Structure 1
Amino acid sequence: MNKVRTMEEVPLGRFHYKIFTYASGSTFIDGYIIGIISVALAVMQSYFDMSLTMVGLVGMATLAGMFVGGIIGGYLTDIVGRKSMFIIDMLIMAIASILQFFINDPMQLVILRFILGVALGADYPIAGALMAEFSPRKNRGALLGGLNAFWYIGYASSYLVGYFLLPTGDASWRWMLASSAVPVLIMLIARLNMPESPRWLANNGREKEANAIVQKIFGKNVVMSNEPEAKVKTSFLDIFRNGYGKWVFFVGVFWSLELIPTFGIGTYIPEIFAQFGFADGRKEYLGSAIINVVYLAGLLPALYLVEKVGRRPTLIWPFFVSSIALFVLGATSGLNMPFAFILVLFIIYGTFNNAMGAHPWIYPNELFPTHVRGTAMGFITGVTRIASSVGTFLFPIILANYGLSITLYICGALFFLGFLISLFMAPETKNMSLTETSSLNKRTTTQQKESSVIRKNG
């Protein structure tokens, strides 16, 4: 007789990779849509008479939309379900992507980019919640963290597509912008066949449907969980109640502290290399290319270590090492150091920085319960997108007014602050069930009460 197992105890298999494909489409499309506008704008400015303000609005519209979409979409994901929102979201993205081809005024593009941002912001919490709720506990961290890699793949792909579309002429920017409809439509069709999350169904009183999905996918000897799913009505404010507010603070702060320097340095890396004295027309771009490759490669060992040694150390120490690398770079700027020396320091920074990049997907999807998992991820995503856009805006201003050394010291200080926040707040969730990880705040509260009673009686 086969032993009964839970969905989280099933070994990693083909179905899990299928769900990973559905979820990673979110980050790929996000990177693609954000990247393609950079190439398209360069061509558009010769087609339209665009002011600097209008260029800025077009560039910022997607990020502003992601703030709104994260908050609204995450909440709706917990209300109407993962699958429904996944499909609705892709449909909106497909329509908005195609309409970009037909614009005849830059303001129309601002509106469409904002709508795309809303859909992208909504897609993040859907992808994270679905991946977390189907993953085996022993592989959940790697599967969630691995989603981050596809942002870089999508971003790099957009530049390649833009490059190959440039020869199509004055209307090449139209094809570039509309090209995002291709991966969106592929993902829309693929997601039509995906199942609803059993955990979401059970939380909404639909246990029969939940168990039927689990047994259809994993077999008759598999159940959803040994721990009954609590049936709790979704309320947006629940992400701040019952001790969950500290997790909102923790994830929102460490994610923002990681993104602000990353987006700033990543956007202006050629200028940074030029200020180090490598502006010969090649080295600054060679350095930039190597850094971006390392960003992706640095994630691979992190996905192994996050399951082997745990979430805490793979967040804490990358923050620390990244900060030290930037402090050393700040101290050596202006000293005419060899190109190889500067490049190695940036490789160290890039490798460890991207190692911590897995955790914004892992922690919010593990620390919050099913009824607000999407809401929490959506809200935190929105907040961090505002933080990253502000950081990207301020970076060149600080660089121009205070110089490279001070700018790198500030970036290093932000990472060091992330190290301290993580050191004191990061929990360990390795090999725990989702019920256990989302109850960590309750355990802490209970332990505090018990300690208080012991002190009073002692």
Structure 2
Amino acid sequence: MQAIFRTGDAATDPASTGVDPEDAPLNRFHWRLTFYSGGGPFLDGYILSIIGVAMVQATPELGLSTSWQGLIGASALIGIFFGGCLGGWLTDKFGRQVLYTLDLILIIACSVAQFWAQTAFTLFILRLLIGVAVGADYPIATALLAEFVPRRYRGPLLGGLIAIWFAGAAVAYVVGELLLNFGPDGWRWMLASAALPATAFVIMRHGTPESPRWLSRQGRHAEATMVIRQIYGTNANSKPISSSSGHERLDGWALFRSGYGDRLFFVTAFWTCSIIPLFAVYAFGPTILASLGLDEAMANIGSAFITTLLLAGCLVAMAIVNRLGRRKLMLHSFLWSGIALLLLSTSTGSAPIIALSCFSAYALFIGGAQVLTWVYPNELFPTEIRGTAIGLASSLSRIGAAAGTYLAPISLDTLGIGATMSIAAFITFVGFVVSWRWAPETANFGLDQSASL
């Protein structure tokens, strides 16, 4: 535990007086854990974004057909589907700590191997495996962070991981543009470059302690108490976490009984509705803006501007997720972003500034739903099945994301920009209806309380 526990973490923390960890103030351990847990989202954004730049050179060199371009572009998303399911189950069964670094080691190995890929099939398999590792990290890292962070800060810090995703995407575009001028093998260096941040996060994550909540559910109360006291001081109160282990022991099948099936449906449905339009907009932003009347240069600049607004919307949502509450934030996010898309669908032929304004409004308002894709799944399920639930929901949502990304250019070509944006608006409004029916309010509740609402 030496890497993440450092002298002074507990000594400067008022929690050393015996306060419940759920009500403790943040200390340096929590900030470092949040940053280290952001490794998965950062690499997700980096890996999914840099392939678009790399394909410029990889397509002619490998002789990629249109089908192979689509498969390689979607390969990481396909891998995330399998990785989320597998990683969630493994982290509930074997704990968060070991898997917290093993998944990144797989990313390093496959990223480096991409440098020597000579065929489309090889590149597809390697990126599929990278996607598996990225998908596994979602339930592992977010469950670990959720189980350490006090209730008051859980929403903002979990939601902050989506901001790290956009940071990874932004860095990928910068690195990609720099390496495009690196010669004909620039695309190989681009794809291999993911190994560098992955290695850095492996080193930083070394020594991360096991979740005391998971330890308690396994009957390892002494180890759980030791971890809590290392974080908050020798007088920290470990009773709330230890006593909750007396609840009925659950397994993955509990997702489909005792109300957890409804919660899994809710999380999967709203997550899917929030990312289908987002992934399509993010992947084909320049094409969509060009269809709305912007020239090529302005379309590229507009896409960069909208990406900045997506990040800004997430930062605003992080700031108000406790004050406004989870449920209200979700409803407002879906409602106003859906209206923005609907207006966008009717702006064909209007001045480009109108289309760009509607696009910008969507980017700002959808930030609330994006933040809550990291918060709600961690708060609605008990410790024994938290990883499994997060992994399954993230995997199922990626089916929609992959389908939306694949169908977006087809819809633009066959139906046109107006109809395509109308479909995106409809999906967003479905997210609003689902949230209106099922979204609970979990702000200010402890993890055990929110899981039993």
For normalisation by structure 1, the TM-score amounts to 0.93
Secondary structure of residue in 2 paired with 1:357? helix
Match of 1:374 among 387, 391, 410: 387
Instruction: Provide closer, same or farther for how the CA distance between residues 168 and 332 of structure 1 changes in structure 2, counting only shifts above 3 A.
Output: closer
Match of 1:342 among 319, 334, 355: 355
Counterpart residue number, 1:452: none
Distance in 2, matches of 1:54 and 1:225, equals: 55
Match of 1:46 among 43, 60, 69: 60
Counterpart residue number, 2:120: 106
Q: Offset at 1:234?
A: 5.5
1:23-422 map, 5 Å: 23-226=37-240, 228-230=243-245, 235-279=251-295, 281-334=296-349, 336-337=350-351, 339-422=352-435
Q: Offset at 1:86?
A: 0.8
The more displaced of 46-55 and 182-191 is 46-55
Contact persistence 2:70–2:406 (CA under 8 A): no
Root-mean-square deviation (Å): 1.5
Distance in 1, matches of 2:132 and 2:18, equals: 42
Q: Per-residue CA shift, 1:152-182, capped at 9, x if unaligned?
A: 1101111111111122211111111110000
Q: Per-residue CA shift, 1:203-255, capped at 9, x if unaligned?
A: 11101000001101111222235261326655322222211001100010001
Counterpart residue number, 1:439: 452
Q: Offset at 1:3?
A: 4.8
Q: Offset at 1:112?
A: 0.8
Distance in 1, matches of 2:68 and 2:347, equals: 38
Asked whether 1:15 is paired with 2:35, we answer no
Distance in 1, matches of 2:46 and 2:257, equals: 36
Q: Per-residue CA shift, 1:111-147, capped at 9, x if unaligned?
A: 1111111111100001110110011110100011110
Instruction: Provide closer, same or farther for how the CA distance between residues 393 and 225 of structure 1 changes in structure 2, counting only shifts above 3 A.
Output: farther
Tell me, which stretches of 5 or more residues in structure 1 are unaligned? Answer: 441-458
Counterpart residue number, 1:451: none
Distance in 1, matches of 2:22 and 2:45, equals: 30
Distance in 1, matches of 2:97 and 2:143, equals: 11
Distance in 2, matches of 1:103 and 1:223, equals: 53
Counterpart residue number, 1:425: 438
Q: Per-residue CA shift, 1:254-312, capped at 9, x if unaligned?
A: 01011111111222221222222222x32212211111100001111211111112101
Instruction: Provide closer, same or farther for how the CA distance between residues 206 and 35 of structure 1 changes in structure 2, counting only shifts above 3 A.
Output: same
Contact persistence 2:81–2:396 (CA under 8 A): yes
- State the AA in 2 paired with 1:396: P
Distance in 2, matches of 1:98 and 1:392, equals: 26
Distance in 2, matches of 1:173 and 1:132, equals: 37
Secondary structure of residue in 2 paired with 1:169? coil
Q: Percent identity?
A: 41
Distance in 1, matches of 2:413 and 2:186, equals: 33
Distance in 2, matches of 1:332 and 1:168, equals: 41
Contact persistence 2:219–2:245 (CA under 8 A): no
Secondary structure of residue in 1 paired with 2:440? coil
Distance in 1, matches of 2:410 and 2:36, equals: 39
Contact persistence 2:289–2:356 (CA under 8 A): no
Contact persistence 2:38–2:164 (CA under 8 A): yes
- State the AA in 2 paired with 1:411: A
Distance in 2, matches of 1:404 and 1:53, equals: 23
Distance in 1, matches of 2:121 and 2:319, equals: 45
Q: Per-residue CA shift, 1:33-88, capped at 9, x if unaligned?
A: 11111111211122212222222221121111111110011100011110111111
Distance in 1, matches of 2:161 and 2:359, equals: 23
Q: Offset at 1:332?
A: 2.4
- State the AA in 2 paired with 1:236: G
Distance in 2, matches of 1:405 and 1:167, equals: 37
Q: How many residues are paired up?
A: 437
Distance in 1, matches of 2:239 and 2:134, equals: 31
Match of 1:6 among 20, 32, 43: 20
Q: Per-residue CA shift, 1:378-431, capped at 9, x if unaligned?
A: 001111111101011111212211211111111111111111111121100111
Secondary structure of residue in 2 paired with 1:383? helix
For normalisation by structure 2, the TM-score amounts to 0.94
- State the AA in 1 paired with 2:411: I
The list of structure 1 runs, each at least 4 consecutive aligned residues, that deviate by more than 4 angstroms after superposition, is 231-234
Q: Per-residue CA shift, 1:304-330, capped at 9, x if unaligned?
A: 111112101110111000111111121
Distance in 2, matches of 1:113 and 1:435, equals: 37
